[in-house]
Amino acid sequence: MHNNELDSFIAAGILNRMNPKGWKAFITCPSDTVTSMNGVTIHAEQPLEFSSKADAVLIGSGSKTRDIARDTDLLARIQLDPARQMIGAQCSGTLLLSKLGQLGDLPACTDLTTKPWVIEAGVKVLDQPFYANGNIATADGCLASQYLAAWMLMRAGTREDAEAAVHYVAPVGQKEEYVAQAIGSVIDYLPNSIATSAA
């Protein structure tokens, strides 16, 4: 899949801070093993089809996303339902989200390399790290994966959960700053009820 490890592992690592509360993030892959764009081979924890059962799905990026965007057999294995799932994508993953028909009229975040292809797919590309509307979120920049995780934590957990998870992974001596930046990057895109109770 030639994925970018940063996207997937940062978000999964942050979400797995919630293991004690019953959350579990799995790495899903189209085959039993996949080799990343940097040459690291990993084993799928779940097949791609698991995405239809999950409460939340994040689509990372990689160097082969344009090929995948044309692979209708592979895309057909990803059945998403934003009525009951939180769905996020980042960087070139946004192109797949668009090809999966999930963006509709929403604007989205993506990287500079993928931008022309996302625009060609009819999507307005935003120049900001994170955007969400309802159950659909996009982010850009590998390290913005922390914002997708924070958004999910605030939506399905609490603001305290999101703050604690980001606090844990942030550099020592810069933790308050990282937490404020993560919450600040996502809070405008939460339903009013959550944003208000969290403020």
For its own copies, the closer CB: 44 or 75 = 44
Shortest Å distance, C-beta 13 to its own copies = 5
Compute the Cα dihedral for 164, 169, 174, 178 and give only its sign. negative
Buried b vs exposed e over 95-130: b needs ≥16 C-beta within 10 Å?
bbbbbbebbeebebbbbeebbebbeebebebeeebb
**Is 121 a residue that touches its own copies (CB under 8 A)?**
no
Given 39, 84, 105, 193, the residue binding its own copies (CB under 8 A): 39
Tokens of 178: 């990282």
Of 36-44, 92-100, 153-161, 189-197, the segment contacting its own copies by CB under 8 A is 36-44
**Is 164 a residue that touches its own copies (CB under 8 A)?**
no
Pairing of strands 28-29, 46-47: parallel
**Is 20 a residue that touches its own copies (CB under 8 A)?**
no
Per DSSP, which regions of the chain are E strands? 28-29, 33-35, 41-43, 46-47, 56-59, 86-90, 108-109, 125-126, 130-133, 136-139
**Is 163 a residue that touches its own copies (CB under 8 A)?**
no
Of 58-66, 80-88, 169-177, 190-198, the segment contacting its own copies by CB under 8 A is 169-177
Tokens of 100: 């999966």
Task: Give the residues lining the site for its own copies (CB under 8 A).
Answer: 4-6, 9-10, 12-13, 16, 25-27, 33, 38-43, 45, 109, 111, 127-130, 139-144, 146-147, 168-175, 178, 181, 185
